[in-house]
Each structure stands twice: as structure tokens, then as C-alpha cells.
Chains A and B, each alone.
Chain A
Amino acid sequence: MKSASRYLPLVLLALAWEAVSRLGLVSELALPPLSHVIRAAIDLVKSGELLKNGAASLYRGMAGLALAVVIGGVLGILMAWWRPLRAIVNPAVEMFYPMPKSALIPVTALWLGFGDASKILLIFLGCMLPVTLGAYNGARGCERVLIWSARSMGASRWRVLWDVVVPCALPEMLNGIRTALALSFVLLVSAELIVAQSGFGYLIGFLGEGGTYDAMFAVVLTVAFLGFVADRIYQWIMQRVLRWQE
């Protein structure tokens, strides 16, 4: 109950939205009343459009993110473990990190076309670095006495990597993944707006061009809501995984 009341300001915002639109303070074209948007959302669900496009987006997002987590995490930990790899990869990481990843949208489309593969590659490339840097910093922060302890109890060097370095890296890596999760929504919708034949972004663009703004707003709200839910679920999982922390 207490946690639900935290979201009271959102209810007020929704009421204000409905009011300004109904009272004509803002043109209905620029901001359709919330009630119209909700009705449009129900229609979109009934017609199956929202689910069909949602499934396409979800698949791309999950696949890209999964690749980013696995490959980015492994790369980050190995960079911390093995100096030559760090020397080779670090300049590329530094170069690539500040670059706006949306600039890669046309590039991935050129390489892999308008379908799923180009979005998955884009999300993978865009989301990998936060995971890599999180894993790298976490692994580098691993105290040497922990590694020494494991070694003195009979763990091999490779065993130590899995038994000690990976759990050491976990908290920072999980924070990196949270950043990546938010980034994946941004990249996915941007890419689908520009080059796609399905997905949330495609639907937003299609409805906007067709002038059905209440439906367009319905999809925008859906994406915002999904992003929020995904982050809450992720935070819940993170707390479970890191329950050993104080």
C-alpha cells in the first residue's frame, strides 16, 4: 500500500493530461485525451497489432541484450585477468564508448538488412560496453587476498577465475547490465522507427504518419510502461542475486 502511494503523482499527471486536452488548453491533435489513448490501446490489443509488433520488438531486444551480457561480460572479465587482451581491446573500448550508438543504425541495416538481425546486432553493439566496463571494473577491484586464499586452498588459476573473479565482478557487472537494459529500449525503438517493417518503433512511426495520434500515443505509453516494468523486475532480480551484500 505504501509503495503504491509512491506513484500517486503519476495519477495526478494522468488527470492533468485528460483535463488540459478536454478543456482545449492543448490541441487534441498534439495531445489526445488519455481516455482516447486508452481506448485506442484496447483496440490495438484486440486487433492483435500490439502483440504482433511487441513480440517482434521483445525478441530483438532480448536476443541483442543476451548477446551483449554474455560476450560483454566475458570480455570484461578476461580484460581484467589477462593484460595483453586489455592492451589490445582498451583503445577500441575508449574510442567506441562515447560514440552515439544510434549512428550505427544505417550501418547495421546496410550489413544485415531491414529485419531482425540488424536490430539484434545494433543492440548487441550498443549494450555491450556498459556490461564490459562493469565486469572489467568489478573484476579489477577483486582483492588479491581473495584470489590468494582460493589458490592456497587448492584452486587452480582457471578455477579462481570462475570461483572468485566472476563473483567479485558481479555487483558492478549487474549495474552495467541495468544501464544496458535501458539503452536497449532506446536503440530498439530508434532503429525500428527508421528501418523496420515491424516492432513498436515501426508501429509508432506508421500510426504517426497515418494521423491516428491516439493510437500512436498508446504505443508510446506501452513502451514507456514496459521499460519501467523491465527495470523493476531487473532490480528485484539483482537484489536477490546480491543478497550477500550488506
Chain B
Amino acid sequence: MRAAVKLSLLCVTGESVIAQIVIDRVSHHYRPRHGRDVLALDQVSLDIAEREFIALLGPSGCGKSTLLYLLGGFLPTQSGNISVDSKPVKGPGPDRGIVFQHFALFPWKTVRQNVAYGLEKQGMPKDERDRRAKEYIALVGLQGFEDSYPSQLSGGMKQRAAIARTLAIDPSILLMDEPFGALDAQTRSLMQSELLALWRRSPKTVLFVTHDVQEAVYLAERVVVMSARPGRVKAIVDTRLDHTDPALFKSRVFIDKVDEIWNLVRDEALKAQTETSG
């Protein structure tokens, strides 16, 4: 049913009525204090449907995080338009939750206080806040660590706490900026399947920034491949696979998808490399 809706979306040309997020010809410059302007994004357009899981993939410096920050409203839109639910993005809001690579937990707050923070800002009464914080801490498997400070947790546990904090305020869009990039390989693959399970249980629109091709293919329904600086949309690859298949990683279709996308990314990675070393 949902697949049919999405298919129709992909066929619609021009102005889409179904897209939840519309990114329309967005360009972005960085202006370093010294040196020349850097064009990070060049005329990027992208439509994203509600509850779709999108991976933004590209070499470092391709502007994929910048795009995420623009969508989050953390950076001002310089040119082009970004709208969410038909409203232009003007600053951050609780409809768009974000998870960062280095967790961004408040180090002076306990796990419970971190998770309850956003609820407090939403004006939720204390009792309900505590109940809901408990619920989300349990959801990410951190029971028993409610009163720990982030400095007392491992990397994986910190990211679980950060995800609980973001999910607790129930955003309709989840922005994830290389959320598993700072974790060791075992923890990362564990967190990937847990994220998928969470998403399947209560689907949200997810924008997942990564430079890991396997991760992108494993998690996303569509992979947006971006070019090296200046960032452009190079290709959009459909990656709807059977994620419930435990042998997915070894399946032909998975390996072919990874190969296909890797070929698209390789040129860009090489370009990015010569640019930074040159």
C-alpha cells in the first residue's frame, strides 16, 4: 500500500503535493574569516515523502551535513527554498529532531534529565515528563542508567540516550548526522538494526547522513548520492530491500546495490581526495 503511494510520488513531475519535505534549488556558501568563499551546496533539489527513510551519501565535504543543518533550521537558507509540510523552514523546531555524530548530550545532565529536557521545553507537566522519559529510556535499552551522567557511558550508550532524547518529543522528521560514525563496528551494526526496528515500529521521515555505502543501502529506502564539493545530487538510487531478511548482507541484490552505489561514489571520493590534498 505504502509502496504504491511512493511509486506514484516518484512518477509525479513538477510540484508534488505528497512530498513532506521539498528542497528546491538550494545553494549554500561558507564564508571563512580568511580566504575565499566555499560553495558547499550547488542547486540541490530533493523531494521527500512522509515516513520515507532517505540516506544522504557522499564524500566528506560534499555538503551533506550542511543540507541537514539547513533543513534543521540551524543555518539560514541563502538561496533556494526549503519547506516542511508546505511551510518554509525558519529556524529550528520540535517537528524536526536531530541526532549528531558526537551525541551532543548535555554533559551536566543525567540521562533522565537529558531525555526530559525537550519535554520540559514543550511544557509537559513533571509527572508526565518523568513517565515519558522512563518509557523512552526503556525503548533504547538504557534502564538502570537513568541517573548516570554522559561521561559515565560508552559511545553506544551515549548515542542511545541521544536518540531517546530526540524521539521523546516525537518529531515527525528525524535528522541524523552520521549518528553511528563515532562508534566501533560491532556497536554500529547493532545500532543500525535497532534503528530499523524503531523505524518500523513507528515510522518517521528519516534523513540519514553517512559516508558508509553499506550502511546507506542497509537502512534507507532511497539513497541520494551527492557529488564532491560543490555538493550536487548526482543520483538517487532506490534501495527498498527486504530488511527483515537476516541474510540480507550476503544476498546478491544487496551486494549489487552496494556495487552500483559504490561506483557512483568512487569518482566523487577520488575528486574530494585530490581536492583536499592539492
- Footprint of B on A, CB under 8 Å? 143-146, 148-155, 159, 163-164, 167, 170, 243-246
Contact = CB atoms under 8 A, between A and B. Distances in A.
B143 interface: no
Contacts of A245: 107, 151
Given A145-B100, A153-B121, A154-B121, A167 B106 contact: yes
A165 B165 CA distance: 19
A246 B169 CA distance: 28
Interface string B55-79: 0000000000000010011100000
Contact-residue bracket for chain B: 20 to 34
A144 B65 CA distance: 14
A163 B169 CA distance: 18
Given A151-B92, A153-B169, A245-B107, 17 more contacts: A144-B74, A145-B100, A146-B104, A146-B106, A148-B74, A148-B92, A149-B98, A150-B106, A151-B91, A152-B74, A152-B96, A153-B117, A154-B118, A154-B121, A164-B106, A170-B108, A244-B149
A152 B106 contact: no
B230 interface: no
11 contacts: A143-B104, A145-B100, A148-B72, A151-B91, A153-B97, A154-B169, A155-B121, A159-B121, A167-B108, A244-B107, A244-B108
B80 interface: no
The prevalent SS among residues of A at the interface is helix
Nearest to A245: B151
A130 to B, nearest CB: 22
A148 B98 contact: yes
B181 interface: no
A167 B96 CA distance: 25
B94 interface: yes
Contacts, number: 66
B102 interface: yes
Contacts of A163: 117
Given A167-B108, A245-B107, A150 B94 contact: no
B141 interface: no
Nearest to B114: A149
Interface in B104-119: 104, 106-109, 117-118
A110 B176 CA distance: 62
A20 B104 CA distance: 61
A146 B108 CA distance: 12
A243 B110 CA distance: 11
Contacts of A167: 106, 108
Contacts of B150: 244
Contacts of A149: 98, 100, 104, 106, 165
Nearest to B110: A244
**Most chain A Cβ neighbours within 10 Å, of B69, B96, B121:** B121
A170 B91 CA distance: 27
A244 B151 contact: yes
Nearest to B152: A246
A155 B72 CA distance: 14
A152 B122 CA distance: 11
A153 to B, nearest CB: 3
A246 B102 CA distance: 16
B246 to A, nearest CB: 34
Nearest to B100: A145
Nearest to A155: B121
